[in-house]
Each structure stands twice: as C-alpha cells, then as structure tokens.
Amino acid sequence: MNGFQSRDDLTIMWPSVSPLGDNVKEIHQFDEIDRKLLRALQQDASQSHAALAEQVGASPASCWRRIKALETAGVLLESVRLVDAEKVGRGVNVMCQLRMKSHATAVRQEFEAFLRSRPEIMECHSMSGEWDYLMRVVVADVAGYERFLMGALLNHPNVANAASHFALSQVKYSTAMPI
C-alpha cells in the first residue's frame, strides 16, 4: 500500500547511525502527542513548555523530554522568527531557473558555495529536467534583481543561462510541514 491511511499512520524517516552504514534511514513512529507537539511548535515555537503541555495533553516535563528527543533525532531544527519581506524592503520575489555550462563535481561544488554566499537567494534546489537549478530570489525592486542577475549570476564563469519569473502575488506561503 502506498502513502498514509491517516494521520495516525505517520512515520518519519531520518538518518541515524546504523551498523549497516551511515546512510541508512531508520523509520520511527510518532504517537499522537508527538504529532500534536510538532504541529504546535511549527505554529509558535516561543510557547513555554507549560503552554505546550496544556495544548497537547501532556505534562511539561514530558513535553521537554519529547522536544529534546526530537532535537537529538534531527526532526526539530533551529527555532527562528520569520520576517515580513515587504516590511524590510524585500518585497520582490523572483523564481530563477539556471543552466550550468558543466556538471563536473568540482564545478557544481564551487557554484553551490557561491549560491550559499548570496543573501538574496532564499532557496535553491538542484533540479532534474531541462534546468539545473531553481532559485527563489528576494530583492527590493526590479533594478535590484537586474544588478544581481547581470552583475553576479550571469557573470559567474559556470553559468550558461538563466530564465527569470517575477511573482505577481503570493497565493500561499508556509513554513509548517504537514504532520
């Protein structure tokens, strides 16, 4: 059977140390309290353990232990505060597809280091298909994107070409994983 039958069947896979090798993933079952805790933390990670405990139906000590276990397992990552892009002058979202001149390992590694160094690139995915990378770039205005595109991206020696798509509006945005 493919997929999950219901939320009660949630299984999560994450890398762990295994006698079979470093890249083996173990499957771990989460109970309803774990799922409630994960959903609650994704909505507001600043809540106290007491508030979380009340929300998920567990004791504060149990919530603390579960959170620590989820952090140790790598399920819960760092806690952050989200910033409104419009209010900090970064309201223009551009989806940029990019094609490389070479796919050699050293070339890709150097280029990916370049991508990670650019603060205007919010997301970057290595893609299958016609384009090699898909990026989400945030800038103040079209002129700011042109400076980035023409001055940095297209001047990179390993970039063959790029296609840009400007977002007209944001229909949906979420940082919460469905649990």
Tens of pLDDT along the chain (179 residues) come to 333 434 444 555 544 444 444 544 566 688 999 999 999 999 999 999 999 999 999 999 999 999 999 999 999 999 999 999 999 999 999 999 999 999 999 999 999 999 999 999 999 999 999 999 999 999 999 999 999 999 999 999 999 999 999 999 999 999 999 99
Q: Do 86-166 and 7-72 have the same topology in CATH? A: no
Residues 6+ away with beta carbon under 8 Å from 76: 38, 41, 67, 70
Enter the pTM of the model.
Answer: 0.79
72-to-40, 51, 63, 66, 76 alpha-carbon distances in Å: 18, 22, 14, 10, 8
Give the pLDDT confidence score for residue 127 in this predicted structure: 98
CATH fold for domain 7-72: Arc Repressor Mutant, subunit A (1.10.10)
Give the pLDDT confidence score for residue 29 in this predicted structure: 80
Give the pLDDT confidence score for residue 10 in this predicted structure: 52
Is the CATH number of domain 86-166 3.30.70.920?
A: yes
Domain ranges of the chain: 7-72, 86-166
